[in-house]
Amino acid sequence: MKLVSLNIQGGAQGEAFFKYVSQAAKTADVLCFQEVYKATRAITAHRGERMDIYNQLQRRLTGFNGLFLPVSHRVGEYLGLKQKVIMGMAIFTKRGLNTGKHFGKHVDGSLESRIDFERGKSANAAQVLELHLPEGNAWVINFHGVFWPGTKLDTPKRLKQSKILISLMKKLKGPKVLCGDFNLMPNTESIKMLERTGMVNLIKKYKIKNTRNTISWKRHNNRQYFADFTFTTPDVRVKNFKVPYNLASDHLPMVVEFSL
């Protein structure tokens, strides 16, 4: 199995993003995307984010089945749009791959939370999908963590989100892959809490140097190297893990190959 996780920045990088997704889809079984927008018609926000990016991905990823998890119905207000826009997450699975339960769990806010990225008003969630594999059942948890403050250090909300994640995963029986944009630095207590459960931090194990790129560093006028993580339970056999550098988004993709 090959799984790719990426905060897609709403598809703001245009052709560079679509080119990477098309390339990744040739060999991937599961695509986990964060910062995915859904709207009834095409509209572009002030930084290039495409508000109908989920619909565009569905049209392009013809060999995949898409599952969208709405996280907030009110992001359009923040972006100054009259049209209703839903901010969420998406998992695309290769056709022929058997899936089971699919649901979401908020770690902060709710569907009706007003979004304001600069003032810390957010809604963040985990998207959970059960996979029925020949070797047995497994779980994929696609996660987008609290995005404010931008320091990505511990806050009460971030500590709480780790507690919610740990509680959620205890209820999921079987092997698990947890991936996404945690909006955390590696040495935070919020990350250490997850490590203490016995989950393997692949960013640490594979000595990954960064999960961000030049787009992020120029936009935020700093050189922050981390935000994204992939964790696996010990019963997941990881064959390979890499974080290739590209400019498909302001985050880098994480690619894990595994078996049970």
pLDDT tens for 76-110 read 777 777 788 999 999 999 999 999 999 999 999 99
Beta-carbon count within 10 A of 114 CB? 15
Q: What percent of the chain has pLDDT over 90?
A: 84
Cα–Cα dist 194/145, whole Å: 13
Q: Please provide residue 18's backbone torsions phi and psi, each rounded to the nearest 5 degrees.
A: -65, -35
Cα–Cα dist 124/227, whole Å: 15
Cα–Cα dist 225/213, whole Å: 8
Mind listing the pLDDT tens digit for each residue in 33-65?
Answer: 999 999 988 888 778 899 999 999 999 999 999
Cα–Cα dist 126/25, whole Å: 22
Q: Please provide residue 207's backbone torsions phi and psi, each rounded to the nearest 5 degrees.
A: 55, 50
Q: What is the 3-state secondary structure (H, E, C) of the chain?
A: CEEEEEECHHHCCCHHHHHHHHHHHCCCCEEEEEEEEECCCCCECCCCCECCHHHHHHHHCCCEEEEEEEEECCHHHHCCCCCCCEEEEEEEEECCCEEEEEEEEEEECCCCCCCECCCCECCEEEEEEEEEECCEEEEEEEEECCCCCCCCCCCHHHHHHHHHHHHHHHCCCCCEEEEEECCCCCCCHHHHHHHCCCCEEHHHHCCCCCCECHHHHHHHCCCCCCCEEEEECCCCEEEEEECCCCCCCCECCEEEEEEC
Average pLDDT over residues 160-175: 97
Whether the pLDDT of residue 118 is over 70: the answer is no
- Is-above-0.85 flag for pTM? yes
